[in-house]
Structure 1
């Protein structure tokens, strides 16, 4: 909204400023309120908040932001005014570059229709009438020169001849002092000229009234000047003026004309002396002259002061469609993305000597995270990954992992998703997926691995408050612990998932399986070769304990577990 300050008569503004500046406790905010508002907007808008403008007026330092103005015509966006020192060509180039980079998928076309009648007319054509124009322009204001900032530094030389950063009150106060001095000197200069002219007219009038005698003195005397001065009580200046006149001019001298000019100049002298002798009359004269200058040279403010929301660029998730996709990672670090969640990644074709390693499902507007064998994370926009119609591309083309280190896992989902990261040495912690994001091609250290240990497959957590983790060691121990006992960390080694006794290096016990379960709804199945053991709620309860405990030994014949599976029962199965 534009400021609600009504237009003022400038003479009233000047009078109010002069009066306000005379007060010892003048408030700058009151002074700013006297400034007139624009009558019509013809230039870019000033969007600096009123509080910041007041601070600039108070300190003499700050910055002013200007934003282009636009309107809608038949669904198109028409930009009609640009910030100062901004060209239409540069704006076209900046927007076109974003369209080429596919950062503005909602814009179909861009035209420059500027001509002599419309100096600025840039037309932006949205792809449909469902596009949110306000959001598009907010993005363009943040990423192009449609919005610019201008530094304000009111450093100037004052009446004392020294440079200084001045606030608005100081500037106006010194300007008024300077204006008063200037007008006073001008009036005094004019008054001095009038006085000199009146002095000459007085001498000329004496010459006219005694013209025959003056002519006789000039004709008969060798040095007429001192004679004239003595005879008629003239000054040096008056005598010189009489002697410099030609005879013809003397003849033309007429008392009426001399007295008429003398009367006019005397009246002007009286007026000047009255003005110079009265501060009020001098101020009124200054106000009158300012008002006349405004009528001759002034115009309305062309840049309205308005309040606008802060410009903000689109993030990647807001301009990319949110479609379901599956990301597939091969054993040799090749990556690709397939539309939908129904694809079976094991049935895809892989390069010779390569095979399936890991897969994850999510949305196309999310970030995909990749973990290498050292526990470092790397991230990329999911929509930028190659299609699964081909064999993909190597991640080493996007990232630079340590020499000889491959990628082992892919994590994918909403930024606030929680994952359980763990090593087969028996340490782990909970991490939020967005903490794994990084723009660094060399990755980000996340999971610290003890010597000779490996990363276990990360587990996506649906409900950390009610879930448990089931961990089986190579010694045949099973421990089921509430996930809430694990810490949330951005990076590190983590804590022990269960208590593994310290043994010699050759007999080191490791974690062979790790799964998340809900004891009330899930069934846990252990596979050893072709045999399997199913644990239901009562059995699971027997293996449930605290994180600091060893866990329970599995039955004989099931202590060398090959794999662990969790199956969620349907509601009707729970009561059958």
Structure 2
């Protein structure tokens, strides 16, 4: 007995690297060509093509009765697509959803999902389906020799490699898919617009993308929402084959309420309401009082947003919602398809339509040639039948007397085998005299048809004219008006936090230990509030709840928070160190609040300063923002707010009693930095700490200045201040005796 045991060496040995590379490449090519990307010819993926073909084989035309979806799915996976039934059924459901497909291929009966939840469809044992009338554009020429056929997965049947699409379905219904290393996102388009572009290409083959966009204005989704992408961007998208389009919901003001009547493609009304409700719960939409979903059969989309009062700016609210919810959505576009050469490629609009027209031209030529072959064969048979009728008695005699009449007939009447076979298969009823007239009439008609077919096939211009007529006829039958209106609008911007939060007067109170709180109102005696043991009042500022509260530390860094996030003044507040991370030893000194454009004068104890807008002090960083550049030993002075409506004078005072007043216009305006010298203090005295700038103020024409020396103060009017006027960066003049140990200066508050 022969030993057939094989050793390991008898098998082919392949390096693991090569095997893995080949296996992955094979898988990649399968996913690209046989699963994820549509073919330019019929615009379908294999599973979609097999579903449509299987339904046509089951006789489920648009005029037939619906049949259980499970029957269709069973045929598809049993005969053509050996994959999961749920995936196959889901693909079929998608082709039946009018809110997913611009021109549905399947007519569903039963629960096929809803815009709220497209995957909420019933099981296939409950639903019924058939093909739509539009599906005829994919199938009507299938039996006319127009496409190649290949074996199914087990080789027992034949299936079409492609369907003979009469329309560029790849653009009309679009497609999405993720392959290996590539993807496709083709939006749906309007049938009439695309056909118009095809006709333009047939008449003017050298038409550019710019020419074609005169017909194809943009995508046309199965929704009434607006496409707000500018026309130039859409043209660029068609020129490159990739880009994006933006859709926005349609709304109207109905008795002071917002009524949303159309949502972007594949946006769930329930999700939109959920997103808006989440903002309301987070108190980010205080101007909205209520939400309602009033959608029904008559109004498929009707979402109502009720404002808190009739003073609410609805345009502003909707602009905010467009920016923060799915009421405005961006759609990626990537015209990546499998071309007629069998390779995936990204095409521009002109190339895509030209290649489809080439496919259509080849399909029509094959259809006409197939028909020409049929006409020629029939004429050949009719010629033989006519010969038989002319000598019918002799034909009958040969058939009755000969054992094998076929060769005898062929020899006697000079017939071909096909003609002799046709004569032998004649029924007795066809031997009537009138039959000869019918044959001659049929011959004449077929002869005319053959000449017409040969003429058409011999002329490129006639072929183009034929394709054009068929395209226009289908556009008339299946075309409709554009659904997605093209309206150029500026991109939505969310409202700033200051606009959303209610604007209420508040006083920001800072303690020496760095604790902060916000008291409602501006008539607050901040120093009289309760403080922790060992803590006391440091500084305060009046602002509004929707404005930023700014804090300045001893190192010259600025920090900011929205005022409404601060704890109430009913308690002791909270330490700013829990929100920010100032440098070691740099305590918080001052707080500022007010309009972002409000100007303030910032200065250091060494006499340098500059004017800046309050928004320059804003910072989202925990570490704050370096605002004032401080020389060694210097500290920030209390910032001075500037009244824009009065002619202002800057007054600086040193600890040795020198006072200088000069015009505010002489101070530079910076975003940050050290600034210019405001008052001259001898550098030696500064470094030794013997004299420093202790205060500055910005006074108007009618303001009075208080100069404090310990517990005493000197009130100075406009004329008193004039005595100390000079040029910026000068030494200034000495104050009267008794006020030469200045501790601070401030504008008098009545």
Is the shorter-chain TM-score for this pair beyond 0.5, marking a shared fold? yes
Q: How far did 1:405 drift?
A: 3.8
Instruction: Describe the superposition over 1:371-426 as per-residue Cα deviations: whole angstroms up to 9, x where unpaired.
Output: 12222211111223233233323323332333454321101111111212222233
Separation in 2 of the partners of 1:362 and 1:108? 26
- Decide whether aligned partners of structure 1 residues 108 and 258 sit closer, same or farther in structure 2, where only a CA change above 3 A counts: same
Please give the TM-score of this superposition, normalised by the length of structure 1: 0.85
Instruction: Describe the superposition over 1:337-367 as per-residue Cα deviations: whole angstroms up to 9, x where unpaired.
Output: 2232222212222222221110111233221
Report what 2:671 is aligned to: 490
2:616 to 435, 447, 450: 435
Q: How far did 1:104 drift?
A: 1.3
- Cα pair 1:528 1:560 within 8 Å, conserved: yes
Report what 1:329 is aligned to: 510
Separation in 1 of the partners of 2:711 and 2:695? 20
Task: Summarize the alignment of residues 333-352 of structure 1 with structure 2, pairs less than 5 Å apart.
Answer: 333-352=514-533
Report what 2:607 is aligned to: 426
- Decide whether aligned partners of structure 1 residues 285 and 63 sit closer, same or farther in structure 2, where only a CA change above 3 A counts: same
SS, match of residue 272 in structure 1: helix
Report what 1:407 is aligned to: 588
Separation in 1 of the partners of 2:533 and 2:425? 120
- Cα pair 1:38 1:301 within 8 Å, conserved: no
Is 1:245 the counterpart of 2:425? The answer is yes
- Cα pair 2:291 2:306 within 8 Å, conserved: yes
Please give the TM-score of this superposition, normalised by the length of structure 2: 0.67
Instruction: Describe the superposition over 1:212-235 as per-residue Cα deviations: whole angstroms up to 9, x where unpaired.
Output: 545666677788666554443333
- Cα pair 1:37 1:301 within 8 Å, conserved: no
- Decide whether aligned partners of structure 1 residues 485 and 351 sit closer, same or farther in structure 2, where only a CA change above 3 A counts: same
> Which deviates more from structure 2 when the two are superposed, residues 221-230 or residues 125-134?
221-230
- Unaligned 5+ residue runs, structure 2? 1-189
Q: How far did 1:145 drift?
A: 0.3
Is 1:26 the counterpart of 2:207? The answer is yes
Q: How far did 1:314 drift?
A: 1.6
Q: How far did 1:290 drift?
A: 2.6
Report what 1:120 is aligned to: 301
Is 1:272 the counterpart of 2:453? The answer is yes
Report what 2:4 is aligned to: none
Name the larger-Rg structure: 1
> Which deviates more from structure 2 when the two are superposed, residues 452-461 or residues 55-64?
55-64
Separation in 2 of the partners of 1:101 and 1:221? 100
1:304 to 460, 485, 494: 485
Report what 2:658 is aligned to: 477
- Decide whether aligned partners of structure 1 residues 491 and 139 sit closer, same or farther in structure 2, where only a CA change above 3 A counts: same
- Cα pair 1:15 1:287 within 8 Å, conserved: no
- Cα pair 1:369 1:377 within 8 Å, conserved: yes
The structure showing larger relative contact order (alpha-carbon pairs under 8 Å, at least 6 residues apart) is 1
Separation in 1 of the partners of 2:611 and 2:193? 70
- Decide whether aligned partners of structure 1 residues 42 and 452 sit closer, same or farther in structure 2, where only a CA change above 3 A counts: closer
Report what 2:320 is aligned to: 139
Is 1:205 the counterpart of 2:410? The answer is no
- Decide whether aligned partners of structure 1 residues 36 and 558 sit closer, same or farther in structure 2, where only a CA change above 3 A counts: closer
Question: What do you get for the CA RMSD once the two structures are aligned?
Answer: 3.6
2:284 to 62, 80, 103: 103
2:330 to 127, 149, 173: 149
1:186 to 357, 362, 367: 367
Instruction: Describe the superposition over 1:413-448 as per-residue Cα deviations: whole angstroms up to 9, x where unpaired.
Output: 111112122222333222211011111122112123
Report how many aligned residue pairs link the two structures. Answer: 560
- Unaligned 5+ residue runs, structure 1? 1-8, 570-576
Q: How far did 1:20 drift?
A: 5.6
